[in-house]
Structure 1
Amino acid sequence: MKRSRVYWIACLMALLVWWTVTVPSALAESSSVHAQELFSQQCAGCHINGGNIVRRGKNLKLRALQRNHVDSIEAIAQLITNGKGAMSAYGDRLSAEDIDLLAHFVWDKAQVNWK
């Protein structure tokens, strides 16, 4: 049985819709897991649950981030990259992609008060 051009276009469109819906959510879930693992390995030693065991006022809660002018994903990424004060720089240890993942992770967690 010979399939028409319309049939193949419909199949291609269905595949495209499936890909558009399935792949980004799978990638986002994978990124989220990777970000959480990175945070656990690199940050949680000082910032468990968004706190700070070294300097209480320099925690990762939204109010503290705003007070310390680290109130955007870009500012968080810059702090992770370059460090400041007692916080070490991670720009030489983590890739730009990992730093971006961590910055998004911290910002997202701060929005829900680390719950």
Structure 2
Amino acid sequence: MSKVFFALCIYILLNILDISGYLCLASDIQAGEQIFSANCAACHAGGNNAIMPDKTLKKDVLEENGMNNLSAITTQVTNGKNAMPAFGGRLAEEDIDNVANYVLTQAEQGW
């Protein structure tokens, strides 16, 4: 089986199952931590939420709110929502991807 055919099969499978948003793609978790510290920690230190205490970044709360995947977190960081400002004009796409992966990693580890 050729590598191109194999890659195409994986791509099709991910799109059919629509699980691509749940995968931690190649990212720089350390860069994500730095971005989080500089831009997010004022409101979300330790995975908490200083503005809306019931909307934390803890694993169970992310799951309850449908925010336990890269796609949802990336959209939230990029566009903002409620009291959270949009970072799409402030952070590069790669930075947003890195911070989204960092948040998911930390949620899995219990912050």
Bin the TM-score by the shorter chain.
0.7 to 0.9
Runs of 4+ in structure 1 off by over 4 angstroms are none
Greater C-alpha Rg: 1
- How much has 1:69 moved relative to structure 2? 1.3
- How much has 1:67 moved relative to structure 2? 1.2
Tell me: higher relative CO, structure 1 or 2? Use CA pairs within 8 A at least 6 residues apart: 2
The equivalences for 1:74-89 within 5 A come to 74-89=71-86
1:111 matched to 2:108: yes
Q: Percent identity?
A: 38
- Equivalenced residue count is 86
1:58 matched to 2:62: no
Superposition TM-score, scaled by structure 2 size: 0.73
Aligned amino acid, residue 91 of structure 1: G
Between stretches 40-49 and 61-70, larger displacement belongs to 61-70
User: Is the helix fraction higher in 1 or 2?
Assistant: 1
Partner of 1:49: 46
Partner of 2:65: 68
Distance in 1 of aligned mates of 2:56 and 2:84: 11
- How much has 1:112 moved relative to structure 2? 1.0
- How much has 1:61 moved relative to structure 2? 0.3
Aligned amino acid, residue 94 of structure 1: L
- How much has 1:32 moved relative to structure 2? 2.5
Distance in 1 of aligned mates of 2:102 and 2:30: 10
Q: Is the 8 A contact 2:29 2:101 kept in 1?
A: no
Distance in 2 of aligned mates of 1:81 and 1:37: 17
Q: Which runs of 5+ in 2 are unaligned?
A: 1-25
